[in-house]
Amino acid sequence: MNFIRKIVQSHSEEEIELYNELKKVLNFSPRDIKIYRKAFTHRSIQLLDSKGIPINYERLEFLGDSILGSVISSYLFKKVPKGSEGYLTKMRSKIVSREHLNELGKDLNLIRFVKSNINKSNIGDNIHGNIFESLIGAIYLDKGYNFCQKFVYENVIIPYVDIEKLEGKITSYKGLIIEWCQKQKKRYSFDIYEDSGNESVRHFSVKISIDSEVIAKGRSTSKKKAEEQASKRAYFAFQDQITNS
């Protein structure tokens, strides 16, 4: 009760609301709510501390990424004692893929905590994974590694990590296509072509050619996404050959 009274006396209504909502997400009481406020502050706010250092989630995202990787690596090391270094690295990459982190951020609805001068619908999907990582960084600074580990187990490993399913999961169709082309000594290229769309948000159109033949096309709000979309379509066009190679 004394701790809660201290929170009420020394924090704004906004921080008290954040404190109460985060308790439900974290399953523990945050100690320093200002760290978590920083974890959800977008760079567009352009806040600076007394030393002129930007106040936003990006440094916490960097820290959280490292902590998350550490927890997942430790779990896989113990869970798969016969796994080689390459196997463990590939499995970790699948668990902490940008796509998966975005899903985790969405599942926890972390976007509701974000302060930004940009409309949230225009920030891009990666904001969900970015703030998931920054939240882990904030937990580490506020409560330490053990609390981070518990949070990752409860929100990532227990509900989502299935080793057998992950073994067959494709995290990058582009990487798979490139690897297959190199293995089969096929020439490939990803080319941006003119986009005639009229949307207010810029789109990229990409075509993938294999041995000078256009195999598939993709279109999205970033070059990377368009390449991945085209690669996925190319994969299904060559699925039998790739699977049996």
Reported as a single tens digit per residue, the pLDDT across 45-82 is: 888 888 888 889 999 999 999 999 999 999 999 999 99
Buried b (16+ CB within 10 A) or exposed e, 106-121: eebebbebbebeeeee
Same domain, 187 and 88: no
Same domain, 18 and 127: yes
The string of pLDDT tens digits covering residues 91-106 is: 898 899 888 899 999 9
Beta bridge partners, 220, equal 204
105-114 long-range contacts (CB < 8 A, ≥24 apart) are 105/129, 105/130, 105/131, 105/132, 108/25, 108/132, 108/155, 110/25, 110/40, 110/135, 112/21, 113/18, 113/21, 113/22, 113/36, 113/40, 114/40, 114/41, 114/42
The string of pLDDT tens digits covering residues 11-31 is: 678 888 889 999 999 999 999
> Which amino acid is located at 21 in the chain?
E
Residue 196 belongs to a domain with what CATH number?
3.30.160.20
Exposed, middle or buried by CB within 10 Å (0-12, 13-18, 19+), for 201? exposed
Domain termination site, one of 167, 198, 223: 167
Does residue 1 have a pLDDT over 50? no
Residue whose C-alpha is closest to residue 57's, from 109, 100, 113: 113
Same domain, 185 and 153: no
209-214 long-range contacts (CB < 8 A, ≥24 apart) are 210/181, 210/186, 210/234, 210/238, 211/186, 211/187, 212/187
The string of pLDDT tens digits covering residues 129-178 is: 999 999 999 999 999 999 999 999 999 999 988 888 787 777 788 888 99
The string of pLDDT tens digits covering residues 199-244 is: 667 788 999 999 999 999 998 888 888 898 998 898 888 888 887 7
Domain termination site, one of 144, 167, 190: 167
Q: How far apart are CA 75 and CA 102, in angstroms?
A: 21
Residue whose C-alpha is closest to residue 152's, from 164, 140, 141: 140
Grade residue 198 by pLDDT with cuts at 50, 70 and 90.
Answer: low
Give me the helix-helix angle, 126-143 and 58-79, nearest 10°: 80
Contact between 121 and 128 (Cβ < 8 Å): no
Residue whose C-alpha is closest to residue 58's, from 137, 115, 121: 137
Same domain, 123 and 228: no
Same domain, 231 and 136: no
Domain termination site, one of 135, 152, 167: 167
Number of domains, the chain: 2
Q: Edge-to-edge strand order for the sheet containing 213-220?
A: 188-193, 204-210, 213-220
Same domain, 132 and 206: no
Q: Which residue has the tokens 């701790």?
A: 3
Q: How far apart are CA 2 and CA 8, in angstroms?
A: 10
Same domain, 74 and 156: yes
Contact between 150 and 80 (Cβ < 8 Å): no
pLDDT value of residue 185 = 92
Grade residue 87 by pLDDT with cuts at 50, 70 and 90.
Answer: confident
Same domain, 90 and 12: yes
The domain of 162 spans 2-167
Active site amino acids: 65, 133
